[in-house]
Structure 1
Amino acid sequence: MKSATTTHRALALTVTAAVGLPLILSGCGAGAGAGTGQSVSEVSVMDYYNNEPDKTFIGDALKACGVKAGVTIKRETVPGKSLISKVLQQSSSKTLPDVLMLDNPDLQQIAATGALAPLSDFNISTADFAPGVLSAGTYKDKVYGLAPTVNTIALFYNKDILAKAGITPPATWEELKAAALKLTAGEQYGLAFNANPTYEGTWQFLPVMWSNGGNEKDINTPETAQALQLWTDLVKDGSVSSSALNWTQADVKDQFLAGKSAMMVNGPWQIPSLDKQASLQYGVVKIPVREATQTSVAPLGGEVWTVPQTGNKARQAKAAEVVGCMNSDENQLAMAKVRNTIPSKTSLATKFASENPKLATFTELVKTARARTGQLGEGWPAQATKIYTAIQTALTGKASPSEALKQAQGK
């Protein structure tokens, strides 16, 4: 997610077709096209990469994979907020595209309708993919989608501001609270995060909830209440602006860029914008945990490529070749470099981290990152709504964190 999830659609980076094309053509996945008895010359694709540079870069990757598969790609890009409603309508009218990209939390909902084909039907390998990546693409023990690259969130900090204050990057909640309070002065807040009433607000809260043992199946627990108390305390003591209740992740980035926040919770898709400001020296660490012995657990973001059940086996076989190609080793590395994301295969991620140190923390987090739908499947959206509702209730002072979680869970 910058979310993509869920707002990781816009990256300030210029890409030409030459960036990934040679790599893409050199290594594509295998499909099960033999024996279909039909000739396929065109494959339709739908995705939500409608902003640059993703629109062009992903389009070039798809075209190259089409060349490898011997088909022309007919691509449609739609706004992210419109994709699921369009997919459900197309499923009902039996007009689904041959290849469909989905934000990973949405896969379960679509797979549950029977609209997608298991990738095992086409012998697409899932070897070496990180466990969280496979979990995000799995429904009822079958893999329906694979993500070439993924992302997550971490804690960015302004090196100059922290050094001037004599503060080292925090690793625990107490250190975070003390640092954020000390770094708050004048128009500068110690920390910025997004707590708005959308899935994005839930996404940014998950690291502190999960790392403390909280569970999305039941948010009315002491562990989740402790996490929400942390968020509440940071807003209450003024270390985080109350505007966080309405900010998007892009707004959080803008606050950090403007020097109005010494630290922020955000993802690697913001790196191109940060790097444009030459005077900004920043670092990235894992989001702090309550106790030093705990493991920082982050949510997995990213889009999966799927093969819909169109009823045309020959076209599905060709579509599977395109999906396999989009997930090839060469494509994973090319996409990760251009899009500031992490290759989904663990061996590739290790190589990538050594060559891209700014993404090393995110690469480490992806190893243990959790899919939001891993436990609840298609039930995730309803519970995600309860989580951000509780956050809003607590941060606005309408109820204590524990009471806000109890109220939300009971709805």
Structure 2
Amino acid sequence: MSTSGRRQRPGRPGRTGRPRGRRIAALLGAGALVLAAAGCGGREGEGSGDGPVTSITALDYYTDATEHAQWGERLSACGRTVGVTVEHTSVPGASLVPKVLQRASSRTLPDLLMLDNPDLQQIARTGALTPLDRYGVDTRGFAEGILSAGTYEGKVYGLAPTVSTIALVYNKDMLAEAGVAVPRTWDELKAAAAELTRPGRYGLAVDANATFEGAWQFLPFLWSNGGDEKRLDTPQAAQALRLWVDLVRSGSMSKSVLNWTQADVHDQFVAGRTAMMVNGPWRISALDEAGNLHWGVAPLPVRRPGQALVTPLGGEVWTVPQSPSRARQEKAARVLACLNDPAHTLALAEQNFTVPSRPAVAARYARRTPSMAAFVESVGRARARTGELGVRWPAAATAIYTAIQSALTGEQTPEEALEHAQQTATSP
């Protein structure tokens, strides 16, 4: 929502909440002018494409060799279904949006473009993307939050075959030894974390660093308690931040969370230095490889019984950029639709430990893969980070992680930190 870790993303936050926002916001501010000047074209010198289209291009940030190969196979399979060869290229995640802006200015955008879902609205605003209803792409049956992540000004520009979110991962042996039940509320979480804390071991670990990842991990506590990124200086927001402050001050959570990434949190858990952690399903394959580690996953606790858990949505959306060739766009849209059909989304979920975007498919997947059940449950109510603020989300995310840092270091109270965050997020 990437997440981005995905193995290091917010998203996979979105790549699950990857900490790229301030740079991208600046690039996009200038990029809108670049795209306007370029006319949002496709390939220089390519006309309306009256001849048959036999190949299209696709760009993503799956540079990991295994991921690149898996997505290449999936794109090729859908290409064969549509009758085209898909030329698949990957660039590092941090360079994807700059690459998009550069290629837009030179009129060489790919036919298919993958974006981290929080980036979609900002790219769509420039005019670089085409709405999917233009090609008859079926958007029925997707979870509301997932459609929201791919929507700009009422039009769907991108679809995510699979998505992710975060949950509570716990060490079964440590909880059993301490006689601690899996916590369901904040009070139970604080009590369990205190009981599980030992010399050389903390009860809980989160990623509270000064990046979009830190904001991503805080959002379930903010949102589930009725807090809102549109108004950060509320009692509900302060209660959520107070929970993290109390956990650090009590010694149940290390002060080092101020600097940890989601990968660091995972390493602490695998090494036995924390009994519980907040993390995403992209960690499951590594957890399975961790020898005698017995672990479980549960939905994140809420402040009081009866509150609905709301988590952030991570994952990537596929889009069809503007191009002079309608024929190429139509072929690309058909490949995009193929990637999002139930069979492909289920196969992708099983490959990558992600959640299929259609609830009906996700429910079937959860029954087949119990370790994903808590993530599937949470995705059903997950919210796109851009759902409320749209292109203004990066400013709010920056204000949120800055407030977390100020409160956890003791520089400000949660109330003071969030008052300042609100001022910062709404300043011109």
After superposition, residues 68-147 of structure 1 pair within 5 angstroms as: 68-147=81-160
Q: Which amino acid aligns with 1:6?
A: G
1:256: which partner in 2?
A: 269
Q: Is 1:312 aligned with 2:325? A: yes
> Secondary structure of the equivalent of 1:187?
coil
Equivalent-residue separation in structure 1 for 2:303 and 2:11 (angstroms): 26
Is the Cα contact below 8 Å between 2:346 and 2:356 reproduced in 1? yes
2:280: which partner in 1?
A: 267
2:312: which partner in 1?
A: 299
After superposition, give the CA deviation of every residue in 1:148-177 in whole Å (9 maximum; x if it has no partner).
001100001100000000000001111101
Q: Which amino acid aligns with 1:353?
A: A
After superposition, residues 4-403 of structure 1 pair within 5 angstroms as: 4-7=9-12, 37-403=50-416
2:3: which partner in 1?
A: 2
Q: Which amino acid aligns with 1:401?
A: P
Q: Which amino acid aligns with 2:364?
A: K
Equivalent-residue separation in structure 2 for 1:52 and 1:195 (angstroms): 30
> Secondary structure of the equivalent of 2:230?
coil
Aligned residues: 387
Equivalent-residue separation in structure 2 for 1:124 and 1:379 (angstroms): 28
2:43: which partner in 1?
A: none
Shift of 1:36: 7.1
Equivalent-residue separation in structure 1 for 2:257 and 2:324 (angstroms): 47
After superposition, give the CA deviation of every residue in 1:352-376 in whole Å (9 maximum; x if it has no partner).
1111111011111111100101111
- Normalising by structure 1, we get a TM-score of 0.92
> Secondary structure of the equivalent of 2:338?
helix
Shift of 1:94: 2.1
Shift of 1:7: 4.7
Equivalent-residue separation in structure 2 for 1:410 and 1:192 (angstroms): 29
> Secondary structure of the equivalent of 1:53?
helix
> Secondary structure of the equivalent of 2:406?
helix
Is the Cα contact below 8 Å between 2:224 and 2:310 reproduced in 1? yes
Equivalent-residue separation in structure 2 for 1:383 and 1:391 (angstroms): 12
Is the Cα contact below 8 Å between 2:11 and 2:165 reproduced in 1? no
Equivalent-residue separation in structure 2 for 1:329 and 1:239 (angstroms): 43
Shift of 1:329: 1.0
Shift of 1:350: 1.0
Deviates more, 1:60-69 or 1:355-364: 60-69
Equivalent-residue separation in structure 2 for 1:90 and 1:222 (angstroms): 46
Equivalent-residue separation in structure 1 for 2:70 and 2:304 (angstroms): 42
Shift of 1:39: 1.2
Note the residue ranges of structure 2 that are not aligned, 5 or more in a row: 17-47
Shift of 1:53: 2.3
What is the percentage of aligned positions where both structures have the same residue? 57
Q: Which amino acid aligns with 2:108?
A: T
Q: Which amino acid aligns with 1:80?
A: G
> Secondary structure of the equivalent of 1:291?
coil
Is the Cα contact below 8 Å between 1:2 and 1:269 reproduced in 2? no
Is the Cα contact below 8 Å between 1:298 and 1:368 reproduced in 2? yes
Is the Cα contact below 8 Å between 1:137 and 1:144 reproduced in 2? yes
Q: CA RMSD in A?
A: 1.4
Equivalent-residue separation in structure 2 for 1:398 and 1:140 (angstroms): 39
Equivalent-residue separation in structure 2 for 1:2 and 1:181 (angstroms): 30
Is the Cα contact below 8 Å between 1:2 and 1:267 reproduced in 2? no
Shift of 1:381: 0.8
Q: Which amino acid aligns with 1:380?
A: W
Deviates more, 1:264-273 or 1:36-45: 36-45
Is the Cα contact below 8 Å between 1:152 and 1:369 reproduced in 2? yes
1:15: which partner in 2?
A: none
Is the Cα contact below 8 Å between 1:157 and 1:264 reproduced in 2? yes
Is the Cα contact below 8 Å between 1:170 and 1:288 reproduced in 2? yes
Shift of 1:255: 0.5
> Secondary structure of the equivalent of 2:276?
strand
Equivalent-residue separation in structure 1 for 2:379 and 2:312 (angstroms): 8
Is the Cα contact below 8 Å between 2:11 and 2:313 reproduced in 1? no
Deviates more, 1:144-153 or 1:84-93: 84-93
After superposition, give the CA deviation of every residue in 1:75-133 in whole Å (9 maximum; x if it has no partner).
21011111112112222332211100001011010011111000000000011101111
